[in-house]
Every structure is written in structure tokens, then in C-alpha cells.
């Protein structure tokens, strides 16, 4: 599992993000998860929506 590298030392909530989405067969394993801040997690999902359009 990796940690978000953008803002490692703030007091924001930490989320787990699946590198390969569960909807595409991704699992809840350390190798498929990264820890990201809430704002980074929202940005990741927003960029995924743009890419899929």
C-alpha cells in the first residue's frame, strides 16, 4: 500500500483508493490500494470520469 505523495502532512481525512477498481475486478489487497487524502481521492475519481467519456 502506498501513501499519497502530494500532501503527506496535513490533518485531512485519509481514504483508500483502488488502483484497479472493484467494478473491474480489483481486490482489497495491499498491492491494489493506495492511501490518499480526501481531496486527492475526489480528484482521482473526477479524472477517471473524464477519461471514460
pLDDT tens by residue, the chain, 53 residues = 555 666 556 667 888 999 999 999 999 999 999 888 888 888 888 887 655 55
Q: Is the pTM of this model over 0.85?
A: no
Q: Specify whether the CB–CB gap between 4 and 36 falls below 8 A.
A: yes
Residue with cell 485519509: 14
Nearest to residue 17, comparing CAs of 37, 8, 53, 5?
37
Amino acid at each position: 500500500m502506498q501513501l499519497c505523495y502530494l500532501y503527506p502532512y496535513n490533518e485531512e481525512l485519509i481514504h483508500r483508493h483502488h488502483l484497479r477498481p472493484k467494478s473491474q475486478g480489483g481486490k482489497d489487497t495491499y498491492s491494489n490500494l493506495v492511501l490518499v487524502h480526501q481531496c486527492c481521492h475526489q480528484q482521482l475519481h473526477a479524472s477517471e470520469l473524464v477519461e471514460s467519456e
